[in-house]
A = this chain, B = another copy of it.
């Protein structure tokens, strides 16, 4: 039996467009001789549909889509993910389901048993866990159909008390199909393959895995759908960060007649780069925008952001604005201009001096002879924000935020100033990783000026300011942040690792007392296992390590 894996970039709530893509994949699968085409988890609703799931009308629209899809299943069967209504009196009102459709009929419905409710996942907010697990019989093949997390309760990850695949295995299936919505982080492809392989090895069955691809605001889906034979040999792998469709012959997989291939193993930094480019592209595409604006400071964060944006949207759609103040160094302007030249993107200089002066003058009665402090620093950042947003509004460009994760973590940024933007490109990338991205970008051709990479980072908001005036070196800072944010280590553990106690206390206090800033930050493209935003939920008025 020939099975097609359809890896699609869905758009949440855009039922017409998603249906069109599903139709195209069905037609293409038919033309390639497939007898079954497999789509991803919650393909019909898009993932994550979040609280749209609470709207009856949204669920109705999902089901109208399923009925439309069913009409196309005369000569081919379809497996596709869709929310279904729980018909029992008790429990949550929906299931996260996969339906098996054939001959214009919904033959069976399979409900997800393990509902991820951690980090960026909220599935138990909406869904009742399924507790019946049935096999699909189709063309003399017995298929164990599972949904994403259903295969994740294996080995040493005992988050759940049941194991759906153990139940399905009792019915002696010939293969496992897993439909997924598995968001990217830079370790995810590896960790996902490990988990899938553990299942293959445990049940000695071939496995077909179909994932989403594309970005849904902060969540990035990397695709990489694949097929393993029952020995754990990889026999098919779909593209990463792109839509794709492939057909495999199940009998050949079962009979070990499909050639085992080598998987791509890209570096962490190239994965992050590709994910961010896709994230920017889809954010604009799905919102119907083409042009981006950003401030170019001559520093490395705005340079890397500009390169990623140019790769995503085309350099002609990027507008880089230089906004020097009295504290800007000459080299900053030169570095920013050189970057724009290298990138071939538009760049303009707007001085903030007049507006900065008139703002200070308007406040002189209140400020009198109070000394220059963080107020005036923030003022410059906020005036830049006013200019960028004015251009954004006038010319219909989305402002890209250029903050990095290290800054976001310690609150080194101005709310309503340089924290502005529709989307944060680097907000989940530590400063030390930003440097690695710059090196990666320059690997063949010098796009980012050398001086931007080698000079000491500075916000240039007062004379001779350097980041290192108030922060430790980024290689130390990022290590502390990673241990605290990603690994949730305690101050005691950090000190045990060799970090200075006073420094640890100061940094953790900065992280915990700047939660109020991050609350109002733009959505951040997620590339790590613990990004700021929907996957990290912290109280604001707390007093812990602060």
Question: With A358-B355, A488-B54 in contact, do A422 and B91 touch (Cβ < 8 Å)?
Answer: no
User: Does residue A454 face the partner (Cβ distance < 8 Å to B)?
Assistant: no
Q: Could you give, for residues 389-433 of chain A, a 1 whenever the CB lies within 8 Å of some chain B CB and a 0 otherwise? A: 111011000000000000000000001100010100000000000
Contact A539 B355 (CB under 8 A): no
A interface residues, tally (CB under 8 Å): 93
Shortest distance between the CB of A166 and any CB in chain B (Å): 13
Which B residues touch A31, using CB under 8 A?
Answer: none
Contact B378 A389 (CB under 8 A): yes
Which B residues touch A282, using CB under 8 A?
Answer: 541
CB neighbors of B among A114-128 (8 A): 117-118, 122, 124-125
CA distance A49 to B536 in the complex (A): 12
CA distance A283 to B370 in the complex (A): 28
Contact A159 B12 (CB under 8 A): no
User: Does residue A363 face the partner (Cβ distance < 8 Å to B)?
Assistant: yes
Contact A159 B359 (CB under 8 A): no
User: Does residue A383 face the partner (Cβ distance < 8 Å to B)?
Assistant: yes
User: Does residue A14 face the partner (Cβ distance < 8 Å to B)?
Assistant: yes
User: Does residue A11 face the partner (Cβ distance < 8 Å to B)?
Assistant: yes
Contact B375 A363 (CB under 8 A): no
CA distance A217 to B515 in the complex (A): 11
User: Does residue A186 face the partner (Cβ distance < 8 Å to B)?
Assistant: no
Q: Which of A51, A56, A89, A538 has the most CB of B within 10 A?
A: A51
User: Does residue A542 face the partner (Cβ distance < 8 Å to B)?
Assistant: yes
Contact A91 B159 (CB under 8 A): yes
Contact B283 A541 (CB under 8 A): yes
Chain copies in complex: 2
Which B residues touch A543, using CB under 8 A?
Answer: 11-14, 17, 286
Contact A51 B363 (CB under 8 A): no
Shortest distance between the CB of A510 and any CB in chain B (Å): 15
> Which of the candidate stretches A132-140, A175-183, A203-211, A516-524 sits at the interface with the other chain?
A516-524
Which B residues touch A13, using CB under 8 A?
Answer: 539, 542-546
User: Does residue A537 face the partner (Cβ distance < 8 Å to B)?
Assistant: yes
Shortest distance between the CB of A542 and any CB in chain B (Å): 4
User: Does residue A158 face the partner (Cβ distance < 8 Å to B)?
Assistant: yes
CA distance A374 to B395 in the complex (A): 11
User: Does residue A168 face the partner (Cβ distance < 8 Å to B)?
Assistant: no
CA distance A363 to B391 in the complex (A): 8
CA distance A99 to B45 in the complex (A): 43
Q: Could you give, for residues 173-195 of chain A, a 1 whenever the CB lies within 8 Å of some chain B CB and a 0 otherwise? A: 00000000000000000000000
Contact B350 A354 (CB under 8 A): no
User: Does residue A169 face the partner (Cβ distance < 8 Å to B)?
Assistant: no
Contact A366 B386 (CB under 8 A): no
Contact B52 A544 (CB under 8 A): yes
Contact A11 B541 (CB under 8 A): yes
User: Does residue A261 face the partner (Cβ distance < 8 Å to B)?
Assistant: no
Name the CB-closest residue of B to A351.
B362
User: Does residue A113 face the partner (Cβ distance < 8 Å to B)?
Assistant: no
Contact of A386 among B14, B124, B359 (CB under 8 A): B359
For the complex of A and B, the 9 pairs showing the least CB-CB separation, nearest first, are A13-B544, A57-B490, A286-B541, A14-B543, A375-B393, A12-B542, A13-B542, A90-B158, A358-B358
Subset of 25 A-B contacts with CB under 8 Å: A11-B543, A12-B543, A17-B543, A46-B542, A52-B542, A55-B488, A91-B160, A117-B124, A283-B541, A286-B542, A286-B543, A287-B516, A287-B541, A348-B366, A354-B361, A354-B362, A355-B355, A355-B359, A367-B394, A375-B394, A378-B389, A382-B390, A382-B416, A386-B416, A520-B520
Other than the given A48-B539, A287-B516, A359-B387, 19 more pairs (CB < 8 A) read A51-B537, A55-B488, A89-B158, A90-B159, A90-B160, A91-B158, A122-B125, A125-B537, A216-B539, A216-B541, A217-B541, A350-B366, A351-B362, A359-B390, A366-B391, A366-B394, A375-B390, A378-B393, A379-B386
Interface of A with B (CB < 8 Å)?
A: 11-14, 17, 46, 48-52, 54-58, 60, 89-92, 117-118, 122, 124-125, 158-161, 215-217, 282-283, 286-287, 348, 350-352, 354-355, 357-359, 361-363, 366-367, 370, 373-375, 378-379, 382-383, 385-387, 389-391, 393-394, 415-416, 420, 422, 488, 490-492, 516, 519-523, 534, 536-546
